[in-house]
Amino acid sequence: MTSRQYNSVWFREPRKAASPGRSREEIVMAAVELLDAEGLAGLSMRKLGAKLSAGATSLYWYVAHKDELLELVYDEVWGEMMVPDPEVMGWRETCSVMSHSMRQVILRHPWSADLIGRMPALGPNALRVTDQMHKAFRLAGFTGLDIDYANSTLTAYVFGMTIPQVAWDAAAKDHDYDQDRLREFVAKAAAGYPELVERINAVDYDNPQVMREVSFDFGLVSVLDGLERRLGT
């Protein structure tokens, strides 16, 4: 049984523009705009061609298929993530800035949450972020595979806190939930658990965005504290 060869847009040189005023970069930016407006379900080569005033067939000069286009836009998202120089900022500050930035980028482009784990992060922007994070963990004192484990732990935390928020925000937008009524229903469902009801009534839902930010930072500091403590074991 022969193994299937893995293909990626990053495994070949980009083709030069086939006509004046059009480039792969222009196509990627237009695709990001379309995705931000309509999500993954709204992206098609036909729609993208119309947005660029070009036929869908002409786009295949730059990308072999839609998955290659998604690889390109996914890496474009990674390019928006801030990663300071760990030699200047220190490893903890670098990890903190990167984590907050990664979260904000995913929230700004919610469609990207569906590509995490599906699309390979092999583009230059993703590799730059990964390299800087590995550098930060090396400076912290991690060695060998522990560098990769620390990096995986941190990114898993960011994804785990952010992707459910993307899903909830999409559901809330589609259904236009009344927050007060929703809170009443949750309290009613938890009526048999008085401590949970007390927490529901104690939490400030007037500004859920602030609560989310505080919750994310609380967990992030806890993760970094755990990684730092592991260095001393």
Residue 2 resides in a domain: no
pLDDT at 78: 97
Which of these three, 27, 51, 77, is where a domain ends? 77
pLDDT tens per residue, range 56-74: 667 877 788 888 899 999 9
Final residue of a domain: which of 23, 43, 77?
77
CA dihedral 84, 74, 71, 21 (to 10 degrees): -90
Residues 147, 38 within the same domain: no
Who has greater pLDDT, 192 or 154? 154
Alpha-carbon distance of 156 to 83, in angstroms, equals 17
pLDDT at 5 (0 to 100) = 61
Query: Does residue 217 surpass a pLDDT of 70?
Result: yes
Q: How far apart are CA 141 and CA 139, in angstroms?
A: 5
Q: How far apart are CA 52 and CA 35, in angstroms?
A: 14
66 domain-assigned: yes
CATH number, residue 150: 1.10.357.10
How many percent of the chain have pLDDT more than 90? 56
Q: Note the pLDDT tens digit of each residue in 31-62.
A: 999 999 999 999 998 899 888 887 666 787 77
pTM higher than 0.85, yes or no?
Answer: yes
Q: How many residues does the chain have?
A: 233
Output 75 or 195, whichever has higher pLDDT: 75
Asked if 117 and 225 sit in the same domain, the reply is yes
Mean pLDDT value of segment 204-208: 67
Q: Is pLDDT larger for residue 148 or for residue 181?
A: 148
Burial of 9 (0-12, 13-18, 19+ CB in 10 A): buried
Query: Where a domain ends, among 59, 77, 95?
Result: 77
Q: Which domain holds residue 176?
A: 81-231
User: What's the pLDDT at 211?
Assistant: 85
